[in-house]
Chains A and B, each alone.
Chain A
Amino acid sequence: MPTKAELAALMQLPDDRGHFGPYGGRFVSETLIGALQELESTYESLRQDPEFQAEFDKDLAHYVGRPSPLYHAERLSRENGGAQIYLKREDLNHTGAHKVNNTIGQALIAKKMGKPRIIAETGAGQHGVASATVAARLGLECVVYMGIEDVRRQALNVYRMKLLGATVVPVESGTRTLKDAMNEAMRDWVTNVDTTYYIIGTAAGPHPYPKLVRDFQCIIGREARQQSLDQVGRLPDALVACVGGGSNAIGLFHPFIEDGDVRMYGVEAGGYGIASGQHAAPLSAGRPGVLHGNRTYLMEDDAGQILGTHSVSAGLDYPGVGPEHAWLKDTGRAEYVDATDDEALAAFRTLTRVEGIMPALESSHAVAYALKLARTMREDQFIVVNLSGRGDKDIHTVASLDGIDV
């Protein structure tokens, strides 16, 4: 564990150029530099602006429905054994996931910047839905890029986006998943940079995105911290969150960085198992490189080509990760582990049956690891698990694995 001074320094990141240690930065082609500088200066002034913050807080309260509950899963904890499990119920947010915290914030920035059009990339479709939702509310044009493989896996969310008035563009290039959707969104942005605001859905990409997405998602950790104090009388022993790009995890972790006794576990998608090579776990099995505007851990081959990933959950099916997680890993402040497809599916079923809460397959990875971790801990300890999204969107996937056509 880093020293107190080192933890305090971690809280101050990124630096002025968007670096978290050696990670982060702004690795984009020249055409986008001006737009990123404009976004950075707009955001830096808005984050000091009480009026903007008040508007954001008001939307979180009355449109998203915050604060989200911190729920003690007593029956699950009892049946599982070991530490008490508390669920941070981001699945109860409007649109069904944590993603909306960020899209509300970024759409407010887009409005301040006078951009009439927003674009977004999406994997599971939750960020696409959250973007389409805020676009509908603010009367902005919305185009969502989605890998054609994910369009197939997440048909329900595709239709939701269309109902909300968004145009969904299926992306057929590359591996046809989230990374390719992000490439395509960048291409759109570079072409339409004057009129368009790009709402990146995770705490990754070129500076200032990792910072501003984290800031908007930190509401999760701030609430969870206060709720822990109110309900249990102390801070949790451990935090657990799934990590694809890592926005729900950084939102939960960041407000606890200086609480050195609170252990943090980011759970990557282990797919068919790390040893199989068929997974989406760059922090567990990748190495540093540069993709999508930032330096971070990547899944790549020996020649620096980005590898295709596999996960049962579309939202974790991404070969990179937010740069702050890369640095939290290297500094030892957070630990990164994985849960396989099978473990996540088992956790999906367990939580559904034991608590009547159906988690997203992404969040099921966090639940799976938390169940294992809890069994190594005492009954008087407690874990906060970020239940980042609800599982309705995944019913088709789970049913088809059961051989059932719904």
Chain B
Amino acid sequence: MSRIKDCFARLETAGRKALIPYVTAGDPSPAVTVPLLHAMVEAGADILELGVPFSDPMADGPVIQLACERALSHGTRLLDVLDMVAQFRTTDSQTPIVLMGYLNTVEVLGYENFATRAKAAGVDGILTVDLPPEESDDFIEVMRAAEIDVIYLLAPTTDESRIKSVCEKGSGYIYYVSLKGVTGSAALDVAAVEEKLKQVRRHTDMPLGVGFGIRDDASARAVSQIADGVIVGSVLVNRIAELATQPQQIPEQVSRIIAGMRAAMDA
């Protein structure tokens, strides 16, 4: 069983929902990332979304865009991110890791080369925000062969027929984008999200994660009551930005936010 499947199965047994934090690899400097990942798991994270820095993160808001710029200022490349995953895996063989980023950094390595290296490093899934299913046939084939889940986004603007085809092509979990906008946008509308998730549920048994607009314990809790996973990014990355000059404090401070959300979700 894949780590992602295994994780959701264990959570279901325990009657809990997945807390899925996102951080950008190498932000604000490469040495911070692995300790930060471990600290987030310790604080209650179930799956880790690790952002691959890209120079032109079109779908992200200013918070994650600046995170990419900080990481790139130290030259964090996709291969460095895979090294971080391998290092993380030396002491954690259970927590799933999903890489999240843009197609071009993968394309430049070549799909097969990437898949082989990513699998060897211990990557479980990949989400390329600018690679919709229509352009993914080769990509899916290569990732499936390497047993890497290809995770797709669904959005408020996705119509019923597309929901069906995205659900057929994706694996691991579905990432539902809660609002029209970039990462770090305004608060989400829980009722509207719930309505859409019901529609998605008709087409898949895959776990449904919800991201964009989750910024505090209350919104994490609200989303955990309607979805299988709560994805939180910009609020963490914002804290990292504030602590960019005191990086030794980052794991503890970010974990504190995670722990708060965990407690709220489990309450």
Contact = CB atoms under 8 A, between A and B. Distances in A.
A290 B139 CA distance: 14
Interface of A: 17, 25-35, 173-174, 179-180, 183, 186-187, 190-194, 289-293, 298, 300, 302-306
B154 A30 contact: yes
A34 B160 CA distance: 11
Which applies to chain B's interface (DSSP): helix, strand, loop or mixed?
loop
Contacts of B60: 187
A190 B59 CA distance: 8
A31 B132 contact: no
B62 A173 contact: yes
A184 to B, nearest CB: 9
Interface of B: 53-62, 65, 69, 72, 77-79, 102-109, 129-132, 134-135, 152-159, 162, 166, 177, 180-182, 185
Contacts of A26: 132, 134-135
B61 A17 contact: no
B182 A191 contact: yes
B59 A29 contact: yes
The secondary structure that dominates the A interface is mixed
A290 B79 contact: no
Given A190-B180, A303-B77, 11 more contacts: A26-B135, A31-B153, A31-B157, A31-B181, A34-B157, A183-B56, A187-B59, A187-B60, A190-B59, A193-B180, A304-B106
A172 B58 CA distance: 14
B54 A17 contact: no
B78 A29 contact: no
A291 B104 CA distance: 7
Nearest to A187: B182
Nearest to B60: A187
Nearest to A28: B130
Contact of A290 (B107, B153, B154): B107
Most B CB within 10 A of own CB, among A17, A30, A33, A292: A30
A34 B157 CA distance: 6
Most buried by B among A31, A179, A194, A293: A31
B108 A35 contact: no
A-B pairs, top 7 by smallest CB distance, nearest first, are A304-B108, A303-B77, A34-B157, A30-B153, A304-B105, A29-B59, A31-B155
Most A CB within 10 A of own CB, among B55, B102, B152: B55
B107 A31 contact: no
Contacts of B156: 31
Contacts of A180: 56
9 contacts: A26-B135, A34-B157, A183-B56, A190-B59, A192-B180, A290-B107, A293-B130, A304-B106, A305-B55
